[in-house]
């Protein structure tokens, strides 16, 4: 049984195939967190908790004479603010009288079949008709003095080794209550030391891997930019200091949310570690009137006792199978050509159709028309919001252009940036109050644009009407949904006064609402998420777009670290990756065409360069790369992915193994090369020890066991930036 309840409904075990998550409601109704790790048999582990009289850690009233009972020391599921736990809390309330205590105690529980959903937000869903049998545990908690209730929601995906958490706050009292903080998840570790792995970066250099020991000083990543951000990803790993790719305890926390977030970890005074994750409490405050409910986003937890590789495999599987959806969840996506780095704003019908004709000849399957096709948009200073086709620039209607591209046997894709508005636009001139600006203050501009107030229904209605009109009147198969600035100047003309603390959250709910409506209206549409590349690469966006443009940086060498960092949580099938021109537009680096292809093949594959300027030799290479994309698809998009090296080595290598373990593919890129070079040796992973494989590099035939134990030495050291593909085929 995935959910095992004992002790008259006070001991809860959530079992997955290889892990158990345990909670116990103690004699005072505090919901203790007693275990998360390797699978156990459900015995009450509350006796692992060591009770001591800790100076300056007070005792709640019902502890009476017992000075050894303190909320400040106990591992808890819902640490609350203002009642004696001085560590990071999950929930903070302001009551009508201005008091700030939040003291939640266990009341009851309920077990429900299937996966719970979170209102207005994405969450993991069950397979067809709930066939794969996930389950939900709901624990009802009640604030001691007020009538605020919390429902803790736990999902168990047994086969996938995934536990999810989310929570709902309900004001059952008469008077308003203000939610000042509402984090979705707390994970307390009583024993052991941990490292925290985070993924940080900047625009065009996203998701760099960082690992640091958790100490007493609080370690936090987060975003207050209104998107999950280029700077920090809403996914973190806690692992033992000795954990590696193949060894050790690893815990993943992945937030299903695309706006402001916090994820932190800290060692407390007694050496216990607390990790929390949820909506960033800064610029957040939510007023709940009588009967109103607040839903906090889901956190996807997973545990691996066999290192980081297994943890990644668990996330890849759950996100691909229970978060991505729609026609293109599993269907092969078209190889695309995006005109952005080919033309930027400088295009007309002739240029576009010339690109499409050449693309069709080479076997490219879709032309994506990027920025610049609408309103007055000759550069990035104007036009956003005016989603009317610029027929003069396109030399006809979008329908005609789309049909011409379809006639070549290709699909047609279009770029939008719905959430933004240029001051130099008809939309802004008609509705200046639709932009997020604060009355009496001049707004911050970024890329010379402002942000629409997506919390407003009228704004969303306008966008829906415009997008629908365009999608209905032209044959469009794909939409790239971009968002090119961080948000500030929060002020809503609808949620005024102290309700401005709700705007960031309502904004992202508005974005989800529009995405949902669009996909309901156009279920066959392939969406590619984008926010200046990878500024909104998160689990929630995968619910709408099974692929996300991984980074505006198309340099094959920089892409190694970007795709490497992205791979810890997100599947390869979700990472938009394109072959672009050299010298690379972002870095000026010159890399071989083949290397650019090999790096992009480890992603949702496409091109982004003027293919009419390619040499005949390059055109032949394109045909070969597309053939490789088909040939290796079941490995790269459906297989198991292994990181064979870290970064900062002389080369970067990774490997895919297909489900049957009949076929494996290693990609290796030489990132630096010295004179008198040292050998290049890599491990080999994921083969079946019992099968026999031939290696394409040297033709040797060995057992999977031998290959995995001996690894492979290349017969020659590749040149700098050169890449090689190596296959193992079962014989």
By CB under 6 A, name the binding residues for ligand DGJ.
Answer: 340, 370-371, 380, 415, 482, 484, 530, 532-533, 549, 552
Token pair for residue 296? 């906090």
**Shortest distance, position 534 Cβ to ligand DGJ, whole Å:** 8
Measured from the CB atom, the residue of 283 and 536 that comes closer to ligand DGJ is 536
Position of minimal CB gap to ligand DGJ: 371
Q: What single-letter DSSP state applies at residue 51?
A: P
The stretches of 182-287 forming alpha helices (DSSP H) are none
Name the CA radius of gyration of the chain, rounded.
Answer: 27
d(CA 414, CA 408): 17
Three-state SS annotation for 341-367: HHHCCCCCHHHHHHHHHHHHHHCCCEE
Q: Exactly one of 176, 193, 618, 722 is catalytic; name it.
A: 618
- Let me know if 538 is a catalytic residue: yes
Name the nearest CA neighbour of 127 among 312, 327, 325: 325
Cβ neighbour number for residue 398 with a 10 Å cutoff: 22
**Shortest distance, position 136 Cβ to ligand DGJ, whole Å:** 37
d(CA 708, CA 601): 24
HSE on the CB side for 89, CA within 13 Å? 23
Name the nearest CA neighbour of 74 among 41, 50, 100: 50
Is 193 strand, coil or helix? Answer: coil
Measured from the CB atom, the residue of 245 and 370 that comes closer to ligand DGJ is 370
Measured from the CB atom, the residue of 196 and 359 that comes closer to ligand DGJ is 359
Name the nearest CA neighbour of 175 among 93, 107, 55: 93
In sequence order, what E strands does 121-234 have? Answer: 135-143, 148-157, 162-171, 177-189, 195-202, 205-213, 219-223
Which residue shows structure tokens 């299903």?
A: 256
d(CA 186, CA 85): 13
Helices 616-636, 349-362: crossing angle, 10 deg rounding: 60
Token pair for residue 611? 């293919």
* Cβ atoms of 237 and 568 closer than 8 Å: yes
Cβ neighbour number for residue 519 with a 10 Å cutoff: 19
Which stretch of DSSP H or E encloses residue 298? strand 293-304
Measured from the CB atom, the residue of 417 and 655 that comes closer to ligand DGJ is 417
d(CA 316, CA 604): 14
Measured from the CB atom, the residue of 305 and 417 that comes closer to ligand DGJ is 417
Q: How far is CA 26 from CA 31, 75, 80, in A?
A: 6, 12, 16
Token pair for residue 581? 């021109």
* Cβ atoms of 273 and 188 closer than 8 Å: yes
Cβ neighbour number for residue 508 with a 10 Å cutoff: 27
**Shortest distance, position 415 Cβ to ligand DGJ, whole Å:** 6
Q: Exactly one of 305, 538, 552, 555 is catalytic; name it.
A: 538
Name the nearest CA neighbour of 406 among 359, 371, 374: 359
Q: How many residues does the chain have?
A: 731
* Cβ atoms of 217 and 266 closer than 8 Å: yes
End-to-end CA gap in the chain: 41
Torsion angle, alpha carbons of 44, 48, 50, 56, to 10: -80
* Residue 708, preceding peptide bond in cis (omega within 30° of 0): no
* Cβ atoms of 72 and 28 closer than 8 Å: no
In sequence order, what E strands does 95-134 have? Answer: 104-113
Name the nearest CA neighbour of 542 among 513, 585, 501, 574: 574
Which stretch of DSSP H or E encloses residue 467? helix 457-473
Q: What is the DSSP string of 609-660?
A: S-GGGS-HHHHHHHHHHHHHHHHHHHHHTTSEEEE-S-SSSSEEEEEEE-TT
- Let me know if 658 is a catalytic residue: no
Q: What single-letter DSSP state applies at residue 522?
A: -
Name the nearest CA neighbour of 158 among 182, 180, 132, 184: 132
**Shortest distance, position 451 Cβ to ligand DGJ, whole Å:** 15
The stretches of 290-347 forming alpha helices (DSSP H) are 307-322, 340-343
Give me the active site residues, please: 538, 618
């Amino acid at each position: 049984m995935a959910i095992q309840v004992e002790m008259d409904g006070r001991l809860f075990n959530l079992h997955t195939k290889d892990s158990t998550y345990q909670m116990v409601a103690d004699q005072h109704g505090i919901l203790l967190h007693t275990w998360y790790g390797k699978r156990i048999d459900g015995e009450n582990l509350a006796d692992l908790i060591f009770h001591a009289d800790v100076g300056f850690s007070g005792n709640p009233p019902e502890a009476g004479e017992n000075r050894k009972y303190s909320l400040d020391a106990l591992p808890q599921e819902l640490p609350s603010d203002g009642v004696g736990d001085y560590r990071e809390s999950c929930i903070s309330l302001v009551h009508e009288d201005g008091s700030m205590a939040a003291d939640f105690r266990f009341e009851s529980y309920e077990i429900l079949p299937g996966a719970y959903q979170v209102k207005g937000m994405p969450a993991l869903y069950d397979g067809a008709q709930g066939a794969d049998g996930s389950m939900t545990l709901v624990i009802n908690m009640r604030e001691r003095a007020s009538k605020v209730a919390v429902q803790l929601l736990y999902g168990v995906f047994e086969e996938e080794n995934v536990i999810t958490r989310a929570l709902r706050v309900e004001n059952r009292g008469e008077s308003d209550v203000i939610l000042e903080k509402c984090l979705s998840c707390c994970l307390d570790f009583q024993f052991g030391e941990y490292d925290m792995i985070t993924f940080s970066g900047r625009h065009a250099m996203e998701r760099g891997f960082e690992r640091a020991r958790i100490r007493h000083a609080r370690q936090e990543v987060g975003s207050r930019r209104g998107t999950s951000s280029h700077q920090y990803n809403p996914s973190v790993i806690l692992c033992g200091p000795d954990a590696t790719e193949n060894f050790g305890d690893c815990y993943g926390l992945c937030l299903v949310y695309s706006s402001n977030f916090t994820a932190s970890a800290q060692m407390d005074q007694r050496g216990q570690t607390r990790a929390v994750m949820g909506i960033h409490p800064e610029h957040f405050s939510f007023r709940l009137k009588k009967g109103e409910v607040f839903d906090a986003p889901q956190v996807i937890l997973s545990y691996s006792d066999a290192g980081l590789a297994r943890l990644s495999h668990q996330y890849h599987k759950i996100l691909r199978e229970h978060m991505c959806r729609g026609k293109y969840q599993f269907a092969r996506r078209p190889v695309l050509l995006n005109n952005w780095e080919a033309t930027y704003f400088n295009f007309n019908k002739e240029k576009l159709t010339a690109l499409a004709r050449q693309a069709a000849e080479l076997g490219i399957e879709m032309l994506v028309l990027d920025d610049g096709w609408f309103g007055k948009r000759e550069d990035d200073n104007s036009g956003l919001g005016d989603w009317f086709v610029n027929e003069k620039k396109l030399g006809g209607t979008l329908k005609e252009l789309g049909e011409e591209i379809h006639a070549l046997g290709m699909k047609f894709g279009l770029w939008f940036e719905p959430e933004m508005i240029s001051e130099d636009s008809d939309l802004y001139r008609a509705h200046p109050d639709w932009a997020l600006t604060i009355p009496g203050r001049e707004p911050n501009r970024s890329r010379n644009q402002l942000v629409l107030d997506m919390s407003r229904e009228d704004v969303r209605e306008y966008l829906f009407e415009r997008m629908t009109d365009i999608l209905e009147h032209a044959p469009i198969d794909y939409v790239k949904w971009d968002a090119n600035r961080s948000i500030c100047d929060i002020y809503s003309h609808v949620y005024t006064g102290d309700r401005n603390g709700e705007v960031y959250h309502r904004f992202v709910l508005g974005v989800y609402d529009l995405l949902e409506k669009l996909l309901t209206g156009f279920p066959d549409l392939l969406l590619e998420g984008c926010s200046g590349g990878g500024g909104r690469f998160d689990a929630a966006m995968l619910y709408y777009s099974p692929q996300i443009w991984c980074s505006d940086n198309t340099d094959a060498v920089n892409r190694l670290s970007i795709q490497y960092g992205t791979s810890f949580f997100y599947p390869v099938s979700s990472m938009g990756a394109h072959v672009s021109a050299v010298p690379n537009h972002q870095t000026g680096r010159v890399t071989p065409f083949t290397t650019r292809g090999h790096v992009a093949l480890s992603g949702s594959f496409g091109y982004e360069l003027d293919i009419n300027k390619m040499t005949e030799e390059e055109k032949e290479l394109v045909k070969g790369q597309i053939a490789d994309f088909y040939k290796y698809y079941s490995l790269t998009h459906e297989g198991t992915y292994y990181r064979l090296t870290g970064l900062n080595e002389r080369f970067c290598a990774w490997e895919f193994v297909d489900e049957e373990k009949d076929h494996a593919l290693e990609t290796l890129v030489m990132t630096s090369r010295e004179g008198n070079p040292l050998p290049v040796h890599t491990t080999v992973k994921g083969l079946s020890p019992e099968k026999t494989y031939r290696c394409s590099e040297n033709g040797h035939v060995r057992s999977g066991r031998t290959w995995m134990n001996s690894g492979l030495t290349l017969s020659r050291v590749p040149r700098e930036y050169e890449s090689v593909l190596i296959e193992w085929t079962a014989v």
